[in-house]
């Protein structure tokens, strides 16, 4: 089998991760001993996860016409990712994300969008054929609404599967769901799923009901990632829980993006959703044992070795 072809679209950032024992209170100054600089953004993370899992990947996104942007593009080249669709925006700064990492590995993130929302279809239409020969298009809401709408329309017209990982709560981009192909796979986390349903998601059973409710309300298929509890996904007329391997988490940054990128590759290879999700959960768990966002994404060989041990 040849390498599958994937087009990713989403945010592209420089990440600064700071280890904290707790968050400071208003007016309080606290000190940290650890600072880790890497590359991230949900679009970039998914692209790296997919490339390391064995896909040929093109990335649509925007960086600033600045030193961090040039450094980021050079690094993506070393990962074998086609960056012709990552556009330097004059006068804009490359996006940045600041991740605050708690002792248990949990992470809270504050992002500065920078160039990310400035990308428009006019920037890339003459440079990159979209979706071109892509077999699947994972997109996040880290890009501007016109880009999301453009990709959804082209995927509908050309029958290319669309995979949406929101990455943030954007009712303006989701709408009533009618703008998306009917077979779109939405992969929010539990918080995002709850926000779109107007209620908090508490536990696996609530998430199972939530993905079915979201599918009825917005159309498409809905899968929710649940961190250490794995994911829930549509299965026949019900929803199925797929647990995650248990690990000692070092850093959970980018775990959901790892899941989405690997899932996209496996679905392109013909795996059934349940089977693909099990392996993607294993890949995401493995990424949590490492520092960083994109840098933590495992290779295909690492995924298969870990999955063989952890999914018995």
77 within domain boundaries: yes
User: Does 154 fall in a domain?
Assistant: yes
Which pLDDT value is given to residue 23? 83
* Three-state secondary structure of 6-29: EEEECCCEEEEEEECCCCCCCCCC
Q: Is residue 253 part of a domain?
A: yes
Q: What is the pLDDT of residue 128?
A: 83
Asked if residue 4 belongs to a domain, the reply is no
> Would you say residue 2 lies in a domain?
no
79, 86, 76: which is closest to 52 by C-alpha? 79
Cβ–Cβ under 8 Å, residues 266 and 280: yes
Residue 149 lies in a domain: yes
Which pLDDT does position 271 carry in this prediction?
98
CATH code for the domain in which residue 285 is found: 3.40.1190.20
In a domain, 5, yes or no: no
Name the H helices within the chain: 42-52, 67-78, 121-124, 145-158, 171-174, 190-197, 203-218, 255-268, 273-287, 300-310
Residue 139 within any structural domain of the chain: yes
How many domains does the structure of the chain reveal? Answer: 1
* CA-based nearest residue to 228, from 259, 206, 198, 200: 259
Give the residue numbers spanning the domain of 278: 11-310
- Predicted confidence at residue 252, as pLDDT, reads 87
Please name which of 291, 285, 290 lies closest in space to residue 310, comparing C-alpha atoms.
Answer: 285
Provide the pLDDT for residue 192: 96
Contact 265, 54 (CB under 8 A): yes
Q: Both tokens of residue 219?
A: 């159309």
pLDDT (tens place) for every residue of the chain, 312 residues total: 579 999 999 999 999 888 888 888 999 898 988 888 889 999 999 999 999 999 999 999 999 999 999 999 999 999 999 999 999 999 999 999 888 888 876 778 888 999 999 999 999 987 888 888 999 999 999 999 999 999 999 999 999 999 999 988 898 889 899 999 999 999 999 999 999 999 999 999 999 999 999 999 999 999 999 999 999 999 998 999 999 999 998 888 899 999 999 999 999 999 999 999 999 999 999 999 998 889 999 999 999 999 999 987
Q: The whole model's pTM is what?
A: 0.93
């Amino acid at each position: 089998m040849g390498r599958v072809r994937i087009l990713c679209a989403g945010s592209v950032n420089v990440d600064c991760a700071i280890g904290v024992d707790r968050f400071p209170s208003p007016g309080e100054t606290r000190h940290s001993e650890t600072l880790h600089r890497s590359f991230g953004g949900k679009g970039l993370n998914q692209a790296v996860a997919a490339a390391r899992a064995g896909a040929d990947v093109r990335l649509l996104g925007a960086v600033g016409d600045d030193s961090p942007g040039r450094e980021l593009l050079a690094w993506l080249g070393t990962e074998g990712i086609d960056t012709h669709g990552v556009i330097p925006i004059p006068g804009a700064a490359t996006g940045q994300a600041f991740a605050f990492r708690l002792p248990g590995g949990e992470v809270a993130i504050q992002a500065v969008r920078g160039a990310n929302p400035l990308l428009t279809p006019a920037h890339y239409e003459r440079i990159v054929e979209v979706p071109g020969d892509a077999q699947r298009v994972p997109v996040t809401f880290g890009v501007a609404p016109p880009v999301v709408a453009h990709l959804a329309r082209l995927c509908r017209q050309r029958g290319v599967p669309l995979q949406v990982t929101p990455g943030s709560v954007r009712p303006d981009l989701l709408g009533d769901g009618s703008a998306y192909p009917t077979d779109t796979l939405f992969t929010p986390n539990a918080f995002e799923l709850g926000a779109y349903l107007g209620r908090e998601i508490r536990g696996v059973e609530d998430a199972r009901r939530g993905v079915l409710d979201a599918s009825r309300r917005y159309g498409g298929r809905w899968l929710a990632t649940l961190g250490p509890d794995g994911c829930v996904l549509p299965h026949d007329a019900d929803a199925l829980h797929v647990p995650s391997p248990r690990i000692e988490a070092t850093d959970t940054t980018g775990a959901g993006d790892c899941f989405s990128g690997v899932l996209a590759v496996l679905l392109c290879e013909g795996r059934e959703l349940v089977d693909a999700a099990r392996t993607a959960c294993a890949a995401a768990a493995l990424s949590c044992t490492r520092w960083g966002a994109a840098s933590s994404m495992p290779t295909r060989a690492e995924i298969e070795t870990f999955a063989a041990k952890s999914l018995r």
